[in-house]
Amino acid sequence: MGLTVDSKPVEEQVPKTPGKFSQWFISLYEVYIFIGRFFKEAFLPPYEFKELMRQCYEIGYRSALLISTTGFITGLVFTKQSRPSLSEFGATSWLPSLVGIALLRTLAPLLTGLIAAGKVGSSIGAELGSMKVSEQIDAMEVSATNPFKFLVSTRVLAATITMPILTFYTAMIGMLGALLNVSVNEGTSATTFFQSSLESITYLDIIASTTKAILFGFTIAIVGCYQGYNSSKGTEGVGKAANSAVVTAMFLIFIEEVVCVQIFSLFNS
């Protein structure tokens, strides 16, 4: 018999906390409820157009410089690294097509997604987390404003709308990086470069890229909002919310990338 206090075994007096496995399922259920609430709140009036526009601007503005830099470098480096393999077969003229397809199909959505996860996801997680622990979300609630609609729905919608735009912007900037490399090495003109790269891009590539960007934007924002909205334990909780927002979003982006590639390759074949 175990140690007893008040004639009850100690094991019976301490409330059982769910194990890690059960906790994982509980969290999954909570995320499911959170996403369900987003769809319910986002598309029912009253609409928060002003806040939505502000968030679109914030998300685009926050990521634009970093995306421009990394997009340009990626295009440039990818072209430089691909040249030796292609030149072995005397196919350097295929460089524009290769870069165009690679950027649009995978590099641009993935790169933009990862940068946005770090820049936007962490910012959303920290901002909402800080608002939660300092009772600003409760303050919104008691002043007859639906904080979920105002804070979560607008951010998720804004990220979902903005990500495809950012993705095509990254692809365009990446192409400029590639163009620089190609024109220096092969002396290709901009018109020839864009003609040959755009020729190889199909509507399916554009659809795949847009779908991934929408999915990544939604994931980044919903994860950031979920972590921030449910944060606790003061400043430590805010840090954890920001950290989890980035790590979870990046992990999910890679999984979604794999799933999307599999699905769209079925259409390609």
| Binding stretches for other proteins (CB under 8 A) | 15, 127, 130-131, 134-136, 138-146
230 DSSP assignment: T
Nearer Cβ to other proteins, position 146 or 183? Answer: 146
Rounded Cα distance, 213 and 191, in Å:
27
Rounded Cα distance, 108 and 117, in Å:
14
To the nearest whole angstrom, how small is the minimum distance from the Cβ of residue 87 to other proteins? 53
Rounded Cα distance, 74 and 106, in Å:
12
**Phi, psi dihedrals of residue 200, rounded to the nearest 5°:** -85, -5
To the nearest whole angstrom, how small is the minimum distance from the Cβ of residue 237 to other proteins? 15
To the nearest whole angstrom, how small is the minimum distance from the Cβ of residue 63 to other proteins? 19
Q: Where are the alpha helices (DSSP H) in 103-233?
A: 108-116, 122-133, 136-142, 147, 154-185, 190-199, 203-229
Report yes or no: 200 and 221 within 8 Å, Cβ to Cβ. no
Handedness of CA 59, 61, 63, 67 (dihedral sign): positive
Among 137, 261, 127, 244, residue whose Cα is nearest residue 205: 261
146 DSSP assignment: -
To the nearest whole angstrom, how small is the minimum distance from the Cβ of residue 127 to other proteins? 8
To the nearest whole angstrom, how small is the minimum distance from the Cβ of residue 101 to other proteins? 42
To the nearest whole angstrom, how small is the minimum distance from the Cβ of residue 6 to other proteins? 13
Nearer Cβ to other proteins, position 131 or 242? Answer: 131
Rounded Cα distance, 105 and 206, in Å:
8
Among 110, 57, 116, residue whose Cα is nearest residue 260: 110
Nearer Cβ to other proteins, position 76 or 151? Answer: 151
Nearer Cβ to other proteins, position 135 or 199? Answer: 135
Tokens representing residue 117 in the block: 């996860």
To the nearest whole angstrom, how small is the minimum distance from the Cβ of residue 132 to other proteins? 11
